[in-house]
């Protein structure tokens, strides 16, 4: 479908994000097509009629959602949203449409500034929008898309929220329980040696076994647990004899 003067449009740069305006700052930070990402093509020069088609080679102003106009800042050549009347050449852009004579939805355009004769480009590392070069390359490609209506935005937002609120399926919950059970059964005797009593209490509460009493002072112990019994080997430090007891 055609995009005409007065239509709201979103401008997508080569790395998939859309130009957005906050105050006088112009960036390409998000993949959203919201209010901050809306622009209106306004005719400049001889073509003053509204609702006319935008043709290749037209000179335009780009009005932002907050009533400003895009312009190239002198010196830095950074794109800004400028206040006031858009009469200066720095706020005028020549529209070069790729492979088309008229601007349509998802057409690729190159925006050449009338003042600097450079083309608007994007930087995927800093999100800055500038007009630094005269090239018509990958960095300078801008895809023009019709802005979604308010009803379309609300429907998309509701669908995204509904997708986030879907509870886990019984199969997923059962899988999580199996993973927790496997992690407990994989613990070895050495993992439990020297563990605090509170930790051992919590562990045996989860596994359904009885907690083991604390070891006596002056002795070293190696103890294990199984489904039927817990065996304790104690080596006394004051004598060479060993006592093995089964609880």
Q: Which tens digit of pLDDT belongs to each residue from 231-240?
A: 434 443 444 4
Alpha-helical (H) ranges within the chain are: 150-164, 170-185, 189-192, 197-207
Per-residue pLDDT, averaged over 134-162, amounts to 90
Q: What is the pLDDT of residue 182?
A: 53
| pLDDT for res 75 | 87
Give tens-digit pLDDT for 35-58. Answer: 999 999 999 875 555 568 999 999
Candidates 146, 132, 108, 114; CA nearest to 13 is 108
- β 142-146/219-225 pair status: unpaired
Residue 189 has pLDDT above 60, yes or no: no
């Amino acid at each position: 479908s055609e995009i005409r003067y007065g239509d709201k449009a979103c401008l997508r740069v080569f790395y998939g994000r859309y130009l957005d305006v906050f105050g006088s700052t112009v960036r390409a930070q998000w993949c959203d097509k919201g209010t901050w990402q809306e622009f209106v093509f306004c005719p400049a020069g001889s073509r003053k009629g509204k609702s006319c088609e935008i043709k290749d080679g037209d000179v335009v102003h780009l009005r932002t959602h907050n009533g400003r106009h895009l312009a190239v800042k002198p010196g830095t050549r950074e794109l800004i949203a400028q206040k006031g009347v858009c009469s200066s050449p720095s706020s005028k852009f020549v529209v070069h449409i790729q492979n088309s004579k008229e601007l349509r939805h998802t057409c690729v355009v190159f925006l050449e500034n009338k003042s600097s004769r450079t083309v608007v480009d994007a930087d995927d590392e800093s999100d800055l929008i500038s007009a630094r070069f005269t090239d018509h390359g990958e960095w300078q490609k801008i895809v023009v898309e019709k802005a979604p209506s308010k009803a379309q935005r609300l429907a998309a937002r509701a669908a995204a929220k509904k997708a986030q609120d879907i509870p886990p399926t019984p199969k997923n919950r059962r899988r999580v329980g199996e993973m927790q059970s496997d992690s407990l059964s994989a613990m070895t005797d050495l993992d439990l040696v020297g563990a605090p009593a509170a930790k051992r209490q919590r562990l045996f509460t989860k596994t359904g076994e009885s907690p083991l009493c604390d070891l006596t002072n002056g002795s070293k112990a190696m103890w294990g647990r199984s489904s039927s019994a817990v065996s304790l080997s104690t080596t006394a430090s004051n004598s060479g004899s060993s006592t093995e007891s089964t609880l």
